[in-house]
Amino acid sequence: MRRLLPHPLLTPILAGIWLLLSNSVNPGQIVLGLLLGWAIPLLSIHFWPDKVYIYKPLTLLRYMGVLLIDMVLANFTVARLILGNPGRLKPAFIVLPLTLTSDLAISILAISITLTPGTVSAQLSPDRKHLLIHALNETDADALIVTIKRRYEIPLKEVFEKC
């Protein structure tokens, strides 16, 4: 089973992407999509050493909703900072201690941080324990760390890691 279908989750996702790409729901396209979804994980198995589980799909959905809202807000925040007085900004590097261990969860956290208000993830320490963040205008680093942990890291931990 593991040899034939190394990533059961990846297959429907790739099939869905194929259907979007072909922009149709012909039975033929669905079969082709499933075929690609089966073949691509098989060929790229060396890039995905760990098995991916989603323990709580509902939390993942809520997380995506929160992320979407935060992204829209982030756009307004950054637009205001750019149009305001850029000379008064106080950029800062902040180290975020990570409790996540799975590669996928860390990647998603880094992407979320980059897409949300005034922060860009800059570097992951080689031991995967700290994430370096660059904040555009930061007055209270501790509050930012607490917010990121509560809004993004804890839900991701619930979704991708067994507690």
Partner 1 sequence: MLDYLLSFLILTGAIFTFVGSLGLVRLKDFYTRLHGPTKATTLGVGCLLIASAIYFSNREAGMSLHEVLITLFLFITAPVSAHMLAKAGLHLGLPSLAKTPEEKIPEKDNETTKTLTDKKTAVDQ
CA 10 from chain center: how many Å?
16
Answer for the pair 25, 19: CB distance below 8 angstroms, yes or no. yes
Nearest Cα to Cα of residue 47 among 16, 7, 2, 82: 7
Phi, psi of 114 (to 5 degrees): -65, -35
Which CB atom, from 59 or from 77, has the smaller least distance to partner 1? 77
Task: Tell me the DSSP string of 51-101.
Answer: ----S-HHHHHHHHHHHHHHHHHHHHHHHHHHHS-GGG---EEEEEE----
Interaction mask 80-119, partner 1, x per CB under 8 A? -xxx--xx-xxxxx-x--------------xx-xxx-xx-
Interaction mask 47-86, partner 1, x per CB under 8 A? ------------------------xx-xx--xx-xxx--x
Q: Which of 34, 36, 136, 154 binds partner 1 (CB under 8 A)?
A: 136
Judged by the rule CB under 8 A, the positions of this chain that interact with partner 1 are: 17, 20-21, 23-24, 71-72, 74-75, 78-79, 81-83, 86-87, 89-93, 95, 110-111, 113-115, 117-118, 120-123, 125-127, 129-130, 132, 134, 136
